[in-house]
Amino acid sequence: MSNALTVAAKGKLAMDKWVVRSSIFLLFIAMSLAFRFSLNPNGKHFDSLLTCQNNNNNNISSSSYLKERIVDLANDPHTVDWMKKIRRQIHENPELAFEEFETSKLIRQQLDQMGIAYRWPVARTGVVATLGSGSSPFVALRADMDALPIQEMVEWEHKSKVDGKMHACGHDAHAAMLLGAARILKQLQDTLQGTVVLIFQPAEEQGQGGKDMIAEGVLDNVDAIFGLHTVHRYPTGVVASRPGEFLAGCGSFKAKIIGKGGHAAIPQDSIDPILAASTAVISLQNIVSREIDPLDSQVVSVAMIHGGTAFNVIPESATIEGTFRAFSKKSFNALRERIKEVIEGQAAVHRCTCEVNFTGTEHPIIPPTVNDARIYEHVRRVSIDIVGEGNVELAPIFMGSEDFAFYLDKVPGSFLFLGMRNEKIGSIYLPHSPYYTIDEDVFPIGASIYAVFAHSYLSNSTRNLNSYD
């Protein structure tokens, strides 16, 4: 009997142990499933989550590789020498606004050799090339081509061969760097997830080329645009821009004040337009000094006065001409209207009539350059990848103007300053100086920023631009 009880007791103990172990095992399974569900609340198979994570890692790795590949291609000695050669050819043969026939021909020859399709002529001398899939999304890169009516004073091997004409604003470099970007992107064409539009624009200095290019459809289907300009404010390797208002809008005005001519010794028989013009000039200066918020930077300058043919004759008319600038479109338009009111008012006070014109063909109105905040941020991150965060600066607003503003009026985009100050080679002079010199070491930087911006924009447009890594 005791043996039977002992066996029964041992059996019960074994059963109890089995129950406890089974309970612990089932509890472990439940906890494991709960943990997996917390990671995958939508009920998807856990392996699919791992696959998704691996794909994201692959995307990041691929993006980083392509950026490194672009920078390597831009810094390839053959590519650098090629960009320098093109820039120097353009520099030796400067052409003014809408006269860029040889410059355009050289650009087209290079595009032909690379097998890149293009449209020409656009706006008389402009070139618009495309590469990639040929379908949306579309992103545009722009460079200008025209020179200035300046006699070059820099003595070097590739000095301008045309008297009175010079590339004194870096447009030769801009065109060369955009061609460099084209060469890079052509080698990566199979990886482009959309279409890159390359805009080689005439007549930036005249403020008309951008408008004319847009009128001929260069921005059709374009989702975003990017442009850059070499500057001496920042050292080579430093870039700068800012979101929102960046460069001022620029306008010109010409006012003809009409009176009644007569002998200067008998002024009562005349209506003096010289007096009316003089008071108009003084009153125009009061707009900025007394009517404008000091924190809203604006400029009104009268730079030309014409009137009279003899010291003792009151003329029939007098003409004044000047410029005005402002950063916001609202301020710019208000300033324009106020200039007209002041001139007309002063003419009326002095019994004259007047004609005020804001549409001069030599100096058309250019709107403020306003960077889209989203595209600016994309450009900033691209720039950090290429030159390092310490070399990317927030630029102040500048009173200069750029006809790139016309593109920004139509599509989101951003404009960038590419520093190239280098005291050792004399790259210290401001644009439009006869001693203007370019540090060609910036070419790989500019070409890289052009190319990485376009490539990464297209890649991210299928996702979310703000998720750019």
pLDDT in tens for each of the 469 residues of the chain? 444 434 444 445 455 555 555 555 555 555 554 444 443 444 333 233 333 334 444 554 567 888 999 999 999 999 999 999 999 999 999 999 999 999 999 999 999 999 999 999 999 999 999 999 999 999 999 999 999 999 999 999 999 999 999 999 999 999 999 999 999 999 999 999 999 999 999 999 999 999 999 999 999 999 999 999 999 999 999 999 999 999 999 999 999 999 999 999 999 999 999 999 999 999 999 999 999 988 888 999 999 999 999 999 999 999 999 999 999 888 999 999 999 999 999 999 999 999 999 976 556 789 999 999 999 999 999 999 999 999 999 999 998 899 999 999 999 999 999 999 999 999 999 999 999 999 999 999 999 999 999 999 999 876 554 444 4
Q: How far apart are CA 159 and CA 131, in angstroms?
A: 33
CA distances, 129 to each of 72, 110, 338 (Å):
23, 11, 42
- Known binding positions for Mn(2+): 169, 171, 205, 229, 432
H or E element that contains 178: helix 171-187
**pLDDT number for residue 368:** 93
Give the pLDDT confidence score for residue 133 in this predicted structure.
Answer: 94
Residue with tokens 């043996």: 3
Sequence-ordered list of residues with C-beta below 8 angstroms from that of 131, at least 6 positions apart, any chain: 116, 117, 182, 185, 186, 189, 192, 195, 196, 198
Binding-site residues sit at 169, 171, 205, 229, 432
What backbone phi and psi angles, to 5 degrees, belong to 382?
-60, -45
Do 223 and 137 touch, CB atoms closer than 8 A? yes
pLDDT at 39: 38
CB–CB of 94/167 below 8 Å? yes
Whole-number pLDDT of residue 49: 30
Alpha-helical (H) ranges within 137-272 are 171-187, 209-215
What pLDDT score was predicted for residue 61? Answer: 54
Residue 16's pLDDT is: 57
* Rounded Cα–Cα distance for residues 449 and 240 (Å): 12
pLDDT at res. 31: 54
Architecture of domain 249-357: 2-Layer Sandwich (3.30)
Compute the radius of gyration of the chain from its Cα atoms: 33
Q: Report the pLDDT value the prediction gives residue 87, as an integer from 0 to 100.
A: 98
Q: Find tokens 């790259």 and name the residue.
A: 427
Rounded to whole angstroms, the Cα distance separating 445 from 448 reads 5
From residue 235, how far is each of 387, 388, 420, 422 by CA, in Å?
Answer: 12, 14, 5, 6
Architecture of the domain whose range is 61-248+368-467 = 3-Layer(aba) Sandwich (3.40)
What pLDDT does residue 99 have?
Answer: 97
Q: Where in the chain is the domain with CATH 3.40.630.10?
A: 61-248+368-467
**Boundaries of CATH 3.30.70.360 in the chain?**
249-357
| Cβ–Cβ under 8 Å, residues 86 and 183 | no
In angstroms, the CA 129 to CA 118 distance is: 4
Tell how far CA 210 is from the center of its chain: 12
